[in-house]
Amino acid sequence: MMLAKTAAGSNRLSVLSVASEAVPLIKTGGLGDVAGALPAAVAAHDVAMTTLIPGYPAVMAALGVPATDAKRPGKGAAKGKPRMKLVHQWDALLGEPARLFAATLGAMPLLVLDAPGCFTRGGGPYADPLGRDWADNWRRFAVLGRAAADIAGGAVKDWRFDVLHAHDWQAAMAPAYLRFAPLADVPHVPSVMTIHNMAFQGHYGREIFSRLELPRSAWAIDGVEYHGGVGMLKAGLEAASVITTVSPTYAMEIRSPEFGMGLEGLIVSRGDRVRGIVNGIDTAEWNPAADPALAAPFTVRSLSRRAANKRALEAEFGLEPGDGPLFIVISRLTWQKGMDVLGEVLDHLVGVGGRLALLGAGDPAIEAELRKGAARHPGRVALHIGYDEALAHRMQAGGDAILVPSRFEPCGLTQLYGLAYGCVPVVSRTGGLADTVVDANLAAITADAATGFQFSGVDYQHLAMAITRAVGLYHQPQLWRRIQAAGMRSDFSWGRSGATYAQLYRELVSEAR
Ligand code: ADP
């Protein structure tokens, strides 16, 4: 297997991307979408990306090894599923026996880390079936990072990588191991550390340091030490050659305490080594013209077909038909996403003639408030608590406007899906929301540039005013259609960002030579 080898004289780069989730295998949020889409985005620019992900039971099963039969790779492979090939074994990866499988899923080359003591368990990637974070997450993801550093460092026969790209705190130990404990005699492998959300940093107590198998020198202010404990994201940010985050505005915001959440000093100190590259969306997966989830597929030239999707959505949520806009929300129900403020604004939303269909799960207190709101407004406000990918597609196709009142938003994807589906985004002016939605002020409408509504300040007053503005424009159908059309025509594909990542990898490789 020579997939990852850079041929002499070729301009093709090989990159090892390390993530704790990747579509279509496993997803809890935007990270999974991005890790799943990036390989194809950079392939167009002569970058061969292989994605390393943990062998959770769902991943092993999807790739042909039932979780119960994890000792016999390939044996349980259902027809049509890719076979996995064993390419490496560790007797003890931070004490954990582990195997590495290679597989290709569609066009996506994968390396799967099967460390049963870490990943063969029920629940989600990060939490047990009751939603409590696994107590040994530090160890599970340190094992992932150690494996990644070994692989990038050349431990696996015939596999060589030019760059390592780590995503979020769960992969952040990979650059840290590359810097502080590389395999002996390996050339320097440059690394990129991408922050998808600064709110999740992987902080643990000092006592885990000795179990990370790092040299004492790594216990330092420019190493893994963070306020007397271990900071896993912090370690990756210190060690990586370059830091990226998922929008230019968020890259600026994390220089301040409000958004940097304790790491703002580090971010400022890394200067121009911090870049913002906005996420794209998978335009094959999210294509309203050919979306199997929809009652009536449509394009920008057949927007009237959205009406059938809207009726289907109203019926699915038990909403009464109405003249006003149907707002949707697809979100984790958390403080970050401003879902507490959404709860406060429901009476206003209904009062100005709006209706709301919400899909989400998260904080029980926020969920309870939203349930109370729905009970006050039967037929006007309806909730679907849970996670449902196909329903998310149907909502973007049938809703008139999507509300995204986040307090901070590194990039945000739901507003991009809204743009692609003619579901007009109403967003707070922060992070990637500020970068991807053009506010419908008079000048922007006149120039046919407006794609949605922005408001600053995530509180009752500002969100209520934004909703009122959206309702007002909705009642001017010609203008509304122009906003929908401008959104659908804007470029939210991976094209430009794929090129930017590829360019970044090339810069790092030439720097390292
Ligand atoms: P974050 O990663 O912070 O949760 P993003 O907007 O970047 O937010 O990405 C969220 C992704 O998860 C989107 O693809 C969105 O459609 C999806 N999503 C969020 N909640 C749900 C849900 N309850 N059901 C289906 N998809 C959801």
Distance 415 CA to ligand 1 centre (A): 10
Query: pLDDT-derived band of residue 284, with 50, 70 and 90 as boundaries?
Result: confident
292 belongs to a structural domain: no
- Please report which confidence band the pLDDT of residue 319 belongs to, taking 50, 70 and 90 as the band edges: very high
Q: Is the pLDDT reported for residue 86 higher than 60?
A: yes
Residue 177: strand, helix, or coil: helix
Mean pLDDT of 174-195: 94
Residues 217 and 243 in one domain: yes
pLDDT higher than 70, residue 68: no
In a domain, 6, yes or no: no
Same domain (yes/no): 263, 341: no
Compute φ and ψ for 90, nearest 5 degrees: -120, 130
Residues 373 and 504 both lie in one domain:
no
Question: Pick from 250, 227, 254, 224: which is nearest to 238 by CA?
Answer: 224
93 and 169 assigned to the same domain: yes
Q: What is the mean pLDDT of residues 494-504?
A: 96
We report the CATH number of the domain holding residue 424 as 3.40.50.2000
Q: What is the pLDDT of residues 244-266, one digit of tens each?
A: 999 999 999 999 999 999 999 99
Q: In ligand 1, which atom is closest to the CA atom of 197?
A: 3
Residue 196 Cα: closest atom of ligand 1? 2
Most ligand 1 atoms within 8 A of CB, residue of 278, 414, 415 to mutate? 414
Q: How far apart are CA 380 and CA 403, in angstroms?
A: 16
Q: Is residue 35 in some structural domain?
A: yes
- By alpha-carbon position, which residue is closest to atom 17 of ligand 1? 29
Which mutation among 331, 394, 404, 415 tests ligand 1's pocket best, with the greatest number of atoms within 8 A of CB? 331
Residues 272 and 312 in one domain: no
Ligand 1 pocket test: which of 413, 430, 492 has the largest number of ligand atoms within 8 Å of its C-beta?
Answer: 413
Residue 369 has pLDDT above 60, yes or no: yes
pLDDT in tens, 109-168: 999 999 999 999 999 999 999 989 999 999 999 999 999 999 999 999 999 999 999 999
- Per-residue pLDDT of 25-51, as tens digits, reads 999 988 999 999 999 999 999 999 999
Q: Is residue 4 in some structural domain? A: no
Across the chain, mean pLDDT equals: 94
For residue 199, what pLDDT is reported?
A: 95
Average pLDDT value for residue range 471-479: 97
Q: What band does 65 get if pLDDT is binned at 50, 70 and 90?
A: low
3-state secondary structure of 284: coil
pLDDT of residue 82: 66
CA of 362 to the centre of ligand 1 (A): 11
Q: pLDDT at position 80, please?
A: 55
| pLDDT band per the 50, 70, 90 thresholds, residue 101 | very high
In this predicted structure, the answer to whether residue 75 has a pLDDT above a threshold of 70 is no
Cite the DSSP H helix spans in 240-358: 248-253, 257-260, 264-269, 306-317, 339-351
Neighbours of 412 (CB within 10 A): 31
Any domain includes 294 = no
Are residues 25 and 74 both part of a single domain? yes
Q: Does 386 fall in a domain?
A: yes
Residue 461 lies in a domain: yes
Does residue 77 surpass a pLDDT of 50? no
Same domain (yes/no): 196, 122: yes
How far apart CA 119 and CA 390 sit, in angstroms, is 27
- Residues 243 and 163 both lie in one domain: yes
Same domain, 506 and 484: no
Residue 503 sits in the same domain as residue 407: no
Residues 275 and 200 in one domain: yes
Q: List the alpha helices (DSSP H) in 120-231.
A: 137-152, 168-171, 173-180
Q: Is 312 in the pocket of ligand 1 (CB under 6 A)?
A: no
Within-domain flag for 177 = yes
Mean pLDDT over 360-376 rounds to 97
Indicate if ligand 1 lies below 6 Å from the C-beta of 412.
yes
Residues 366, 344 share a domain: yes
pLDDT at res. 184: 84
Q: How far is the CA of 387 from the centre of ligand 1 (A)?
A: 9
Q: Which domain holds residue 113?
A: 13-280+495-512
Q: How confident is the model at residue 7 (pLDDT cuts 50, 70, 90)?
A: very low
pLDDT for residue 70:
45
**pLDDT score recorded for residue 460:** 98
Share of the chain above pLDDT 70, in %: 95
Verify whether ligand 1 is closer than 6 Å to residue 448 (CB atom): no
The domain total for the chain is 2
